[in-house]
Amino acid sequence: MVTKDEIERYIQNIPPAPTIVKQTLDYVRLGDLTKAAKCAEEDPALKLYLKTLVNRPVYGFRNEVSDVSQIFGILGVSTAQQILYNYLMSVLVPKQWELFHLTHQEFYDLQAALSAKWTKILTHLSLLNRESESAITLLPASIIVCDALFGAHKSEVEQLKSVKALDYNTILYRLCRSTLFDICTQIALKWEIPPLISRIVHAASGNDQDLKPTEKVLAQWMHLLLFFELSQGTYVSAGLNEFIEFKIEFVQDIYETFMQVVEYDESNG
Amino acid sequence: MRATVKGRVAVFHPQGFLDGNNAPSFLTIEDIKATEGLNIDMLLVSLKKVIFFNKNGLDVFIRLLINIRNQKHISVGLCDYDTPKFKTIQTFYGSDLNFSLFRTEKIAELFVATNKSDPKTVLLYNEDPSQRSAMAIELFDYGHNPIIVQSKKEFDEKKRNPDLYDAIIEDTYLGLFGQKVATRVTGNAIIYTISNFLDAEIGNSFNIAYHNNSLNVGFRLFIFDAYKVVSMNIHALNFFTKLASSAAEYNATICFVGMTFEKTPITFKNDLEDAGIIFFDQMEDILKNKELLEELGGSSATASKQTRALTKALVNELPGFIDATVSTLAMMTNAKATKESMNIQPLEVKESQNQYASSIGFYGDMDGMIILIFPKTIAKKACELLIGEETDNEEAILDSLAEFVNIIGGRAKTLLGEKKNRVDITLPRTYSNVNALLEMAQNKKGVQVDLSFEGSHFTFFLTR
């Protein structure tokens, strides 16, 4: 099964953030979107990513947007930063998913859906700022890490799960005293992602104690949002519904408002 | 999504939101086939981690449950909900509610057969008197002590002292129950409760898989509590005669208690006696007579007079079985076990103190039993992944040990399946006292493998 050594090796093998992405992020943080766009132009993969992402239905543009400076202009500073972090995450996405039955398209759709709803939530909570908006981008890293660590142990996990309803995060913690969210924090450190972001994502596991009030609120909403998305048919089929434990008691008091914010139709299906 | 299986109860654990759009994604065709193939008495869907559900979402699971109930005559239902969810489900289904609702999984487990003699004191209330009686009868037949409360007020008062009860039953509903003959374990005897008119339906309601399982794990005395039987027809007679013949192969005894032959031809009694079935008037005649109990095989599992030799085919599978054990231990602990010695001999345990033991049998194209004996410290370590925390709670450790052995049994089944040997595995059995196991396994020759794990030793024993 997964060992501490495997976790160490995985963290060591995480590539540093590409220089162009780092520079682009620096310009975005300074609010200079023109320079950021120029910088991003130099990386064809980043350019293609931005173009593909922005033209997804979730962003709702009728005509194709292809110019990078135009893309950044449309997105604004906060969302541009969020999308650059999402791109960074794509560096970690495996060529072939081993544990979850996911396609790249489905993963990017998940990133996009989480980001769009997260912005809606932050607006509702009046907590929309650059860092809180970007926090959601680190969350899917936990899925990537989970696939990377457990992919080679699929049959063992199946046997374990045949006798006990254990989620991957719990299995990892009980075996190695380290969670998927601890590893996300390590990734954030390596990529110089602000600590507030990794703290919120870590707390979104629903296991952290002694949180600051705002961090707790963000963690609750993020936890519920994650399970809202992981309850979509595509992600249930992919096996993502069982990836961490859903803590109902952690989100019970925000549930009603959440349903209104995400405009969930209770008569679905 | 696959159901997890504990004992003879399988449970689905969906999380998050459950509606008509996403619910079908929880159950692929493979999942449905795998569920149909399970050897279980109860199939449930847990709503513990479901924050929202609507009727369309539940219906997807309910359809599967009802389908499987129709095929296998097992109990099905929902569990792990709070009072508002219970009321919502009742509103959704109204008078069409034909599956069961159990407030918790623990409550559901009270309504199925286990191979443990573990009677529970249960406080019970339901505003519907017929439900109240049905639950009390079922609980009693499964060997528990129900304390039935007639009013909500009295129930609320009694509930204030939860320590007096092992379980408190409320917000629970039995739908189409009593499909199986209720079963309980007393010491080393298994008691089946049969009632009313016994006809060909007994073939469906009697849990033959559980019975075979019990024979395979060493039970030798089977008592039919027949006080409530009105009459029996020729089909039921044939059924019991066959059952007696198969029991004879294991030197097992079948008894009927409290059966009157007022409305059943007395010749049937003679036929059943000829088949080896013994009749008693009162349950106490057996259970309180130690000498008789020993003679019938119910004092311990020692009555297996016949020892069965190991076969070459079974010994050929030994490396696979050891590998299943060692790799399961490695999976659960991330530490390696190594083989120290291997001998064909009767089971020998140097120090029976401070050890736990467990066994699991398999039967079908090939039959045998795997026995594991661990020092308590190793057993605790092996179960830490399943329990989640260090504990000295013996019941929790033994329960997890059963799950651990179940994984090994599952692996052994897969291994034999790969070689086209179809087998079923029995319920795992655990022993807090190794001497009880030694009594059962005495005179049994087998392959004993001594293994070393983190400086301690544990024993693997393969026998028939």
Predicted confidence (pLDDT) per residue in A164-182, tens digit = 999 999 999 998 999 999 9
Q: Examine the domain organization and report whether B220 and B357 are in the same domain.
A: no
Identify whether B176 is part of a domain: no
pLDDT number for residue B178? 55
| Confidence class for position A206, pLDDT limits 50, 70, 90 | very high
Whole-angstrom distance, CA of residue B456 vs CA of residue B443:
26
Predicted local distance difference test score (pLDDT) of residue B303: 41
Strand boundaries in B149-301, DSSP class E: 167-169, 182-186, 189-198, 221-232, 253-257, 278-280
**Chains A and B: how many Cβ contacts under 8 Å?**
118
A158: chain B residues, CB-CB within 8 Å: 2
| Main-chain phi, psi angles of A230, to 5 degrees | -70, -5
Tokens of B266: 């007395």
Q: Are strands B355-364 and B368-375 parallel, antiparallel or unpaired?
A: antiparallel
Task: Indicate whether B174 belongs to any domain.
Answer: no
Shortest alpha-carbon distance between residue A18 and chain B (Å)? 35
Same domain, B9 and B158: yes
Picking from A83, A100, A20, A15, the residue whose alpha carbon sits closest to that of residue A49 is A83
Query: Å from A109 to nearest chain B CA?
Result: 17
> Do the Cβ atoms of A266 and B403 come within 8 Å?
no
Per-residue pLDDT, B5: 92
Is the same domain home to B293 and B344? no
In the three-class reduction of DSSP (H, G, I as helix; E, B as strand; rest coil), residue B17 is classed as strand
Find out whether B258 and B281 touch, Cβ atoms under 8 Å.
Answer: yes
Residues contacting B87, CB < 8 A, separation 6+: none
Regarding an ipTM greater than 0.85, the answer is: yes
**B177 assigned to some structural domain:** no
By C-alpha distance, the chain A residue nearest B331 is: A1
The string of pLDDT tens digits covering residues B280-339 is 999 888 888 888 887 777 655 544 445 667 788 888 888 888 888 888 888 888 888 888
Which contiguous run of DSSP H or E holds residue A69? helix A68-92
Q: Which of residues 208-267 of A touch B (CB under 8 A)?
A: 224, 227-228, 230-234, 236-237, 241-242, 245-246, 248, 251-252, 255, 259, 264, 266-267
**Interchain proximity A241–B48, CB inside 8 Å:** no
Same-domain check for residues B115 and B212: no
Considering only CB atoms, which chain B residues are within 8 Å of A236? 1, 22, 25-26
Task: Please give the Cα distance from B314 to A67 (Å, whole number).
Answer: 70
Q: Please check whether residues B53 and B165 belong to one and the same domain.
A: yes
Closest CA to A180 of A154, A155, A202: A202
Please provide the size of chain B in residues: 464
Work out the mean pLDDT of chain A and round it to a whole number: 91
Name chain B contacts of A170, Cβ cutoff 8 Å: 388
Helix axes A141-150, A68-92, angle to 10 degrees: 30
d(CA B302, CA B220): 8
**Regions of chain B where pLDDT drops below 50:** 302-305
The sign of the dihedral angle between the CA atoms of A170, A172, A178, A181 is: negative
DSSP 3-state of B97: coil
What residue has token string 């449970």?
Answer: B11
Domain assignment of residue B101, yes or no: yes
Report residue B259 as tokens. 């059966």
Q: pTM of this prediction? A: 0.84
Residue B332 maps to which CATH number?
3.40.1550.10
Write down which residue in B272, B303, B334 finishes a domain: B303
Q: Cβ B14–A241 below 8 Å, yes or no?
A: yes
Same domain, B332 and B294: no
For B43-67, give the DSSP string: EEEE-TTEEEE-HHHHHHHHHHHHH
pLDDT for the residue numbered B307: 61
The shortest CB-CB distance from B17 to any of A171, A231, A237 is to A231
- Based on the domain organization, do B286 and B316 belong to the same domain? no
The residue written with tokens 């006696």 in the block is B273
Provide, as residue numbers in chain B, all residues whose Cβ is less than 8 Å from the Cβ of A252: 51
Q: Looking at the complex, does the CB of residue B2 fall below 8 Å from at least one CB of chain A?
A: yes
The answer on B196 and B344 residing in a single domain is no
The answer to whether residues B322 and B459 belong to one domain is: yes
Predicted pLDDT of residue B305: 45
Residues A128, A131: Cα–Cα separation, whole Å: 8
The answer to whether A160 faces chain B, any CB pair under 8 Å, is yes
For residue A173, the model assigns a pLDDT of: 93
Give burial (CB, 10 Å; 0-12/13-18/19+) of B306: exposed
Spatial neighbors of B290 by CB under 8 A, at least 6 apart, are B299
- Percent of chain A clearing pLDDT 90 (strictly above): 59
Cβ–Cβ contact B407 with A under 8 A: yes
pLDDT at A7 exceeding the cut of 70: yes
Q: Which residues contact A182 (CB under 8 A, 6 or more apart)?
A: A202
| Three-state DSSP state, A82 | helix
Q: Which helix (H) or strand (E) holds B359?
A: strand B355-364
Q: Which domain holds residue B213?
A: 182-303
Residue to substitute from B49, B60, B79, B360, interface A, most A β-carbons within 10 A: B49
* Contact of B462 with B347, CB cutoff 8 Å: no
Considering the domain architecture, whether residues B58 and B130 belong to the same structural domain is answered as yes
* Boundary (domain end) residue, out of B277, B303, B329: B303
Distance (Å) of CA A90 to CA A53, A80, A113, A183: 12, 15, 15, 16
Task: Kindly state whether residue B175 falls inside one of the protein's structural domains.
Answer: no
Spatial separation of the C-alpha atoms in residues A158 and B407, rounded to whole Å:
10
The Cα-based distances of B49 to A58, A202, A237, A251, B99 in angstroms read: 29, 20, 18, 11, 20
Domain for residue B317, yes or no? yes
Among candidates A242, A255, A269 on the partner chain, residue whose Cβ is nearest the Cβ of B19 = A269
Which domain CATH number covers B274? 3.30.750.24
Contact between B255 and B287 under an 8 Å Cβ cutoff? The reply is no
pLDDT for B138: 86
Residue B366: inside a domain = yes
Number of domains making up chain B: 3
What is the distance in angstroms between the Cα of A83 and the nearest Cα belonging to chain B?
27
With respect to residue B11, please indicate whether it lies within any of the assigned structural domains.
Answer: yes
Helices marked H in B275-317 — which ranges?
284-287, 290-296, 312-316
β-pairing verdict for B9-12 and B337-346 = unpaired
Single out the residue in B303, B327, B349 at which a domain terminates. Answer: B303
Interface probe for A, chosen from B21, B358, B385 (most Cβ of A below 10 Å), is: B385
B11 and B152 within one domain: yes
Residues B104 and B209 in one domain: no
**pLDDT score, position B300:** 52
Radius of gyration in angstroms for the set of CA atoms belonging to chain B, rounded to a whole number: 23
* Collapsed DSSP state (helix, strand, coil) of residue A68: helix
